[in-house]
Chains A and B, each alone.
Chain A
Amino acid sequence: MFTVNEDLTRKIAHLARLHLTEDEVKTFTSQLREIINYIELLEEVNVSGVKPLTHPFELETPMREDKISHYPKTNEGKSKILDSAPEILYDSFKVPSIISGE
């Protein structure tokens, strides 16, 4: 069992790359605590002999054949996927530097 406190809220926010103000940390800590307390009600249920359920429907996942189908290309022969990128350089997605400034 773990305790929901402000440090936990900050850790979760960091993992999700969210910047929280100190006020927000307080707000979310109390909300998280309420949620966890509510979910903990399930601990009271006896689940011995019950198989874990990962999906509510008893379905089989559909599979596809291994056949290539290309996503549409522009007139210049480039993938249209690039159209939706905010910044492109040499047909690559341009993103902030990953290596420096860590």
Chain B
Amino acid sequence: MNGLKVIYNRNLRNRIHLSWMWISLGVVFVLPLSLFIGLMWKSAILLDQQSLIDLLFSSEWKPMAGKFGYLTFIVSSVWVTMISLLIAGPVCLLTAIHLTQYAKSWVLKIMAPVIDILAGLPSVIFGVWGILFVIPLLANHIGPFFGKSVSGYSILAGAIVLSIMIIPFILNILIEIFQTVPKELSEASLSLGATRWQTIKFVLLKKSFPGIVSAFGLGMSRAFGETIAVLMVVGNVVHLPTGVFQPGYPLPSLIANNYGEMLSIPMYDSALMFSALLLFVVVLIFNAISRLIILRSSR
């Protein structure tokens, strides 16, 4: 009798676990899908009126005249993201290599929580830091060094702030990845007469390549979608940027700055939804590509 009850309880528990699993699985799949469908539906009005090519490759942004060309925003987003990754990538790789391969173990023990805290800071703090330090640095030193008089609010400012933001994020993942490489593997390479550096190049980096790609992919998604910190320093001028000292206007800033305002303009609502859709799709593609690389190299 008692035994039966236990079995019954266990079955019930199993069933509850199972149903929770299905629900969470459902949420994981349905939520983004419904988001995507919602965005599609909302931007359909815009897509009806203008061709996709026009939308993506024109920089003419005149909402009053019903002209929505996204090139300025796309180019700004791409530049800010790429430059931030260009800065953060090498810094993260070298730091992670140093911390896991060369530094004394107590250094990593101290650094790990510090990096965690940095990764968890609210992004507005990075924005403030950008305004206080990066903008003056660009306006007073780096700009003049290149013979330019600039305000500081620029693509470069956005990229620098972003890179500082994503460094702890990427670094965290890289350290974890490097630590999972068994030390016996490095020792095998060393015992064959390889130097430390050769071992890092041919064994550590090779072994963790898929992980590195995914870390950068995730960092890139993060950078592409980051809103507030970039918005605070990037200038937000609707003008196709032709240099890194010029202000830009990335997609997330466009949405954040304008949503809820000027919705009386016809199609403006739809236009903002379309930029959200763009953001969504690009981040999706970043993720898909990094996953594909992981899949192919793990075979």
A associates with B: no
